[in-house]
A and B are shown apart, each in its own frame.
Chain A
Amino acid sequence: MDRLEDLASSLETLAFHGFQTPTVGNGEKESPAIEILRIKEQMSNQCFEMTVKLQSGESKRSCSASDAEKDLPDYVNTLEEAKITHFNKTLALHRMQVWHVISEKLKQRDPEAEAMRKLTNHSLDLCLKIKTLQQESFELQDQITALQKQRLDLKRLTHEKMKEMEELKTKGEHPVAEEYRNVLQKAQSYLEKYQKMVAIEQNVLRGIIIASKVNWREDPKLREIAMTLEDITISDD
């Protein structure tokens, strides 16, 4: 019974102290309960230190440079987003505070407030003007864009028409081409043959004139010949 009483009283003391180990003088002998508490505290401290060490060890991951580069845009984006959010919140708070003070001031009746009210009215008038001008410029811009669309459309149509014209030109003019086709082809081949001959002759003649180192300009007949050496219709005009 006595021992139970002792235990109960020591537990009571402990509870009173909030389960912390009371500081004991060096000479005093500790009761076993207090010893156990002390050991518990030590162990919990050690466990805490170990957890901390483990956690710091976890963050040391090995990663290669290319892995880091891949993650970099994401981190940059996160950073930017955080910056923007911070800026916006700061802006909102700042504006809220400043304008609260301003509106309080504007409500009063002293000369400073009077001056501020005049300024406010003036800026509101300007805003009205700005609004009308902006409306005008918005409508004008719409008109300009519509006009540009129309012009570009016209340009496209013009090009299409020109292409059609080219196709019509190359198609030829004879509706009754079937009958004349053979004749035309023969004529064409003769023409080409003679054109080639003429070209060769022209080249030869030009070569002779150049090689002879004569001034072809002086003699009128030679000049006439020389000036026509380039004339040949290869493409049908």
Chain B
Amino acid sequence: MGNDVLERNLVLVERMGLTRGLPPEVISTMLDYAMSLRMGGAPCVRVLKFLIPATVVPQEAIVRAVAWLCVGKIAISTQVLFLKWVLTFFDMIDSKDHLRSIYGFIFNFVTEEHLCPYICHLLYLLTRKECVRPFRVRKLLDLQAKLGRQPFLLHLLSLYKVFCPELVTTALPSKLRGGFKNHVTPWKGVLNAIQKRNTGQVTSDIRLTIGVKDGSNSRKRKCNHLQLPSLNSAVQRNLSSTNSRKVFPLEQLHSFPELLDNLHRIELPSQMGSLLGSSLALCYLDYVQDDSAFLRLNFWLGHALHEEFLFCSREGGSGCSSETLHFLNRLISTQNFLQEGFFSTESFLYKFLNVWDGSLLRPQILGLLSHIPVVPSSCIHQLLFEPLMQLFFSSTLFFKCSVIECLNDMLLKWLTWHSVYSVEDGLDISLNSHTPMNMTLSGFMDSVMELVLFVGRLATVGLQLEGCSSLLLSFVLDFYETVCDMFLKFELPLVVMPPVGVFYPALFATDPVSVDRLCFIMCRYKQNLTAAKFQQQEAKHVFHISSQTYREFNRYQLLMVSTLWNSRLFQPGMAVEVDHNLLALSKVPEPSASFTLIRHPAFVGYALDFHLKCWPERKDMDLKSVKAGKHWEWYLEFLFSHGYLGLQQFVQSNINWHPGSGTKSQGQGDGQPTNG
């Protein structure tokens, strides 16, 4: 027998709830009505299903509902539905302090087997340090013994452990995969409809967490959290002043002085994702170094990244929605701001690199990659180099350039970190403020060496595959500009020469910019090696640069001078030695002089221009006349005036040539540091 009046009213409220959401007072009343079971169990379930809040959920309503739970008359499935409802709309509860006051009552329900996962999730969101008591820890451990190492128990225990490590002495896995499940299923369709109706676009006032398993709906979760702080503070202003409160919610911070004033009593929001948007919040996070906050943030971040990229299969579409882009860009700017990466991002990247196709969100993924902290040399090959190599060889030119740029960034960050954090020849450097892994100086140098050698190999093969493309060469030379100054700019006693597969394509490049940069790099190497040798003799540092490095450098120097100045390119004894019969076959006159400063592919244009300027009336051009007398000096000046400072530096520091002498003398290469 139905009650017609009740039915009519319920339908009215239901319609409003499903279309526009219900205001807070209505939520209070309806929740109380439902949970008191005044009209039986079925209306309760029905009410819970349409109880969609429009703005906020008053916390007293929840407290009252929990009291009804304690009475114990509600069916278990309805209790589960209620808990799911609380978890889904948790972010819309206006304040949580009353809920924390009844923490004990909520905790009591953890022994119910069907309610346990949801209660654990709710407790995870509510726990503060004061809530961790020995008897609660004992109860959870007993439960674990009964139910096994369930993920929800493990998460709650690890949060307890972060707050009070002395109370939780059992070993817990340091990186828990996955997270608490989303419980939004009963309300999913309604929420989608309401969002569409309210604003019609992604950004709207009502941000709700919509977890999607099948990927058919768009994800709004990440953007959501970034808007929550403003929502909460709008409500708080209506309540009594916050000065009397013990804690200062992070959402209410609006300026840096406020942060400094309240540094000791700031309360973090429940959704850690909202921190990623605000620089004030990040400042706070950085200063206080709260392990529990970082744990929760990494947790959420790992979960979001895994679900977005690794576990969810997209039907159709490239999966490159604007929210994903926005989220990743936010994450990158956060990491830039904090100048360190999150360990959840790191572990996600290692997994993702193995399945990445190289083109999906390439700038973002490579941007995240450059923030990876120093990887120990024992696992760097397997974790980082192998997947990158596989992607590199079959990729486009732009991908190759991007990878080399990314690795250049990574190297710069490692070197910066080292120059700041390694103190006074300290051997023990703590790697990352949150991971206690320590790394010795030699371990760090090993990793850097591995990285540089790896990029050398990539560059060699890349240049061969792309036919010595100037673009790729430019990025490679960027990298070696960083490497050549490792000693003088970053105080790292390590000098690594570029491999032959990079040196020769640069030396024989057809554009003058590359040759000039190569000269500049060689000059910097010389300065670094000289300084290192000097310091070694002074015995200031205990490092040792191997004689092989000096030999390599000398060889390169000799080759450059012989090629560019001395016309001795293909001679025996030089590294690029070619049989003279083969050279004769080429029918090129004076083959050994074909890469000097007047005949080099990069500079022949200038030589011809100069010749034209000097002897405009001459019919047949003979470049040899440039070498005669004053003209050579003028030609060099002409060349340097086009901005080739590297070339100028190289010629001036390495070649014993005196301008003003009558004929162009065959300058002897000079200035080679002797072997160590």
1/0 contact string of B573-590 vs chain A (CB within 8 Å): 000101000100010110
Say yes or no: is B493 at the interface (Cβ < 8 Å to chain A).
no
Q: With an 8 A cutoff between CB atoms, is A91 at the interface?
A: yes
Query: Does B147 have its Cβ within 8 Å of any Cβ on chain A?
Result: no
Residue B389 CB within 8 A of the other chain = no
Q: Which chain A residues numbered 90 to 108 have a C-beta less than 8 Å away from chain B? A: 91-93, 95-100, 102-103, 106-107
Binary contact readout A100-144 vs B (1 if CB under 8 angstroms, 0 otherwise): 101100110100000001001101100110111011001000000
A99 with B101: CB separation less than 8 A: no
Known contacts A103-B599, A199-B133; is A215 also within 8 Å of B416 by CB? no
Q: Specify the chain B residue showing the minimal Cβ separation from A144.
A: B412
* Complex interface residues of chain B between 391 and 415 (CB less than 8 A to chain A): 412-413
Interface residue? A33 (CB, 8 A): no
Q: A88-B500, A131-B513, A206-B105 are in contact. Are A216 and B287 (CB under 8 A)?
A: no
A153 within 8 A of B: yes
Q: CB within 8 Å of A: which of B504-532?
A: 504-505, 508, 510-513, 516-517
- B residues near A181, Cβ cutoff 8 Å: none
Q: Is the CB of B586 within 8 A of A162?
A: no
Kindly state the separation between the CA atoms of A96 and B594 in the bound complex, as whole angstroms: 6
Residues on A with beta carbons closer than 8 Å to the beta carbon of B604: 99, 102-103, 106
Closest to A202 in B: B104
Cβ–Cβ contact B501 & A96, under 8 A: no
Partner of A227, one of B101, B108, B419, B644: B101
Chain A hits for B595, CB < 8 A: 92, 95-96
Given contacts A159-B433, A234-B130, contact A149 B419 (CB under 8 A): yes
CB-CB under 8 A from B417, the residues of chain A are 152
**1/0 contact trace for B351-382 toward A, CB 8 Å?**
00000000000000000000000000000000
Which residues on the B side are within 8 Å of A117 (C-beta)?
608
Contact indicator A135/B133 (Cβ below 8 Å): no
B96 to chain A, nearest CB (A): 12
Q: Of A91, A92, A106, A203, which is within 8 A of B135 by CB?
A: A203
The answer to whether B501 and A87 have CB atoms under 8 Å apart is yes
User: Is B1's beta carbon under 8 Å from chain A?
Assistant: no
What B residues does A106 contact at CB under 8 A?
604-605, 608
Q: Which residues 410-448 of B have a CB within 8 angstroms of A?
A: 412-413, 416-417, 419-421, 433
Residues of B within 8 A of A96 (CB): 586, 588, 591, 594-595
CB <8 Å contact, B578 and A230: no
A33 to chain B minimum Cβ distance, whole angstroms, is: 44
Q: Is A55 an interface residue (CB 8 A)?
A: no
**Contact pattern, A 133-171, Cβ under 8 Å of B = 1, otherwise 0:** 011001000000100110111011011001000000000
| B63 located at the interface, meaning its Cβ lies under 8 Å from any Cβ of chain A in the complex | yes
Is B481 interfacial (CB 8 A cutoff)? yes
Alpha-carbon separation in the docked complex, A87 to B365 (Å): 33
Which residues of the other chain, A, contact B129 by a CB distance below 8 angstroms? 235
B569 to chain A, nearest CB (A): 7
A232 and B513 form a contact (CB under 8 A):
no
Overall SS of chain A's interface: helix
A210 at the interface (CB under 8 A from B): yes
Distance to closest chain B CB from A210 (angstroms): 5
A11 within 8 A of B: no
Residue of B nearest to A107 (CB): B621
Closest to A88 in B: B504
B643 is an interface residue with CB less than 8 A from chain A: yes
CA distance A210 to B67 in the complex (A): 9
Nearest-CB distance from A122 to chain B (Å)? 10
Q: If A151-B339, A162-B289 touch, does A210 touch B513 (CB 8 Å cutoff)? A: no
Decide: A145 and B412 in contact? CB cutoff 8 A.
yes
Q: Are B130 and A100 in contact (CB under 8 A)?
A: no
State the Cβ distance, B203 to closest chain A Cβ, in Å: 32
B41 interfacial by beta-carbon distance below 8 Å:
no
Which of B49-57, B68-76, B267-275 contacts the other chain?
A: B68-76
Determine whether the beta carbon of B608 is less than 8 Å from that of A230. no
Q: Are B339 and A148 in contact (CB under 8 A)?
A: yes
The answer to whether A213 and B71 touch (CB under 8 A), given A127-B513, A226-B102, is: yes
Closest to A163 in B: B289
Whether A231 and B578, one on each chain, are in contact in the complex, defined by CB atoms closer than 8 angstroms, is: no
The verdict on B330 contacting chain A, using a C-beta distance below 8 Å, is no
Which one of A92, A97, A209 contacts B576 once the chains associate, using CB atoms below 8 Å? A92
State A67–B160 Cα separation when bound (angstroms).
Answer: 53
Contact B505 A158 (CB under 8 A): no
Query: Which chain A residues border B5 with CB–CB below 8 Å?
Result: none
Q: Which residue of B67, B130, B464, B582 contacts A215 across the interface (Cβ within 8 Å)?
A: B67
B158 at the interface (CB under 8 A from A): no
A214 to B67, CA, bound (A): 8
Cβ contact within 8 Å between A217 and B288: no
Q: From residue B261, how far is it (CB to closest CB) to chain A in Å?
A: 15
The smallest beta-carbon distance between A191 and chain B, in angstroms, is: 16
Assess whether B608 is in contact with A107, with CB atoms less than 8 Å apart: yes
Say whether A228 faces chain B, with CB atoms less than 8 Å apart. Answer: yes
Q: Does A89 contact B (CB under 8 A)?
A: yes
Give the chain A neighbours of B609 by CB distance below 8 A: 121, 124
Please, how many angstroms separate the alpha-carbon atoms of A234 and B609 in the complex?
A: 86
Please measure, in the bound complex, the distance between the C-alpha atom of A231 and the C-alpha atom of B130, giving whole angstroms.
9
Whole-angstrom CA separation of A117 from B609 in the bound complex: 9
- A227 near B339 (CB under 8 angstroms)? no
Instruction: State how many angstroms separate the Cβ of A88 from the closest Cβ of chain B.
Output: 4
**Which residues of A are found within 8 Å of B413, using beta-carbon distances?**
148
Question: Does B58 touch A at the CB level, under 8 Å?
Answer: no
Residue pair B108, A97 in contact (C-beta under 8 Å): no
* B516 and A145 contact, CB distance less than 8 A: no
> Which chain B residue shows the least CB distance to A117?
B608
Distance in Å: Cβ of B241 to nearest Cβ of chain A = 20
Which residues of chain A come closer than 8 Å to B232, judged between CB atoms? Answer: none
Contact B642–A138 (Cβ < 8 Å): no
Partner of B601, one of A95, A127, A131, A162: A95
B555 to chain A minimum Cβ distance, whole angstroms, is 14
| Chain B residue contacts of A229, Cβ below 8 A | 101-102, 104-105
Q: Are B108 and A210 in contact (CB under 8 A)?
A: yes
**A84 interface residue (CB < 8 Å to B):** yes
Q: Do A215 and B68 form a contact, CB below 8 Å, given A84-B501, A92-B504?
A: yes
Contact partner, A155, options B133, B286, B516, Cβ 8 Å: B286
Q: Which residue of A lies closest to B582 (CB)?
A: A93
Rounded to whole angstroms, the CA-CA distance of A227 and B99 in the bound complex is: 9
Distance between B575 CB and nearest chain A CB, rounded to angstroms: 8
Q: Does chain A have a CB within 8 A of B635?
A: no
**Quick check: is B349 within 8 A (CB to CB) of the other chain?**
no
Cα distance, A85 to B503, chains bound together (Å): 11
The closest CB in chain B to the CB of A84 belongs to B501
Q: How far is the CA of A95 from the CA of B108 in the complex (A)?
A: 82
Please state if B100 and A93 are interface contacts (CB–CB under 8 Å): no
Q: Is the pair B286, A213 in contact by a Cβ cutoff of 8 Å?
A: no
Least CB distance, A223 to chain B, in whole angstroms? 8
Which residues on B are within 8 Å of A, measured CB to CB? 63-64, 67-68, 70-72, 98, 100-105, 108, 129-131, 133, 135, 246, 286-289, 339, 412-413, 416-417, 419-421, 433, 460, 464, 468, 481, 489, 499-501, 504-505, 508, 510-513, 516-517, 569-570, 576, 578, 582, 586, 588-589, 591, 594-595, 599, 601, 604-606, 608-609, 619-621, 623, 642-645
In the complex, besides A127-B511, A128-B643, A148-B416, 13 extra interface pairs with C-beta distance below 8 angstroms are A92-B504, A92-B578, A123-B511, A128-B642, A153-B420, A156-B420, A159-B287, A206-B104, A215-B70, A217-B67, A227-B98, A229-B105, A230-B131
Q: What are 19 A-B residue pairs whose CB atoms fall within 8 Å in the complex?
A: A84-B501, A92-B569, A95-B595, A95-B601, A127-B642, A131-B642, A145-B412, A152-B339, A152-B417, A152-B420, A155-B286, A156-B421, A159-B287, A162-B287, A216-B70, A227-B63, A230-B130, A230-B131, A235-B130
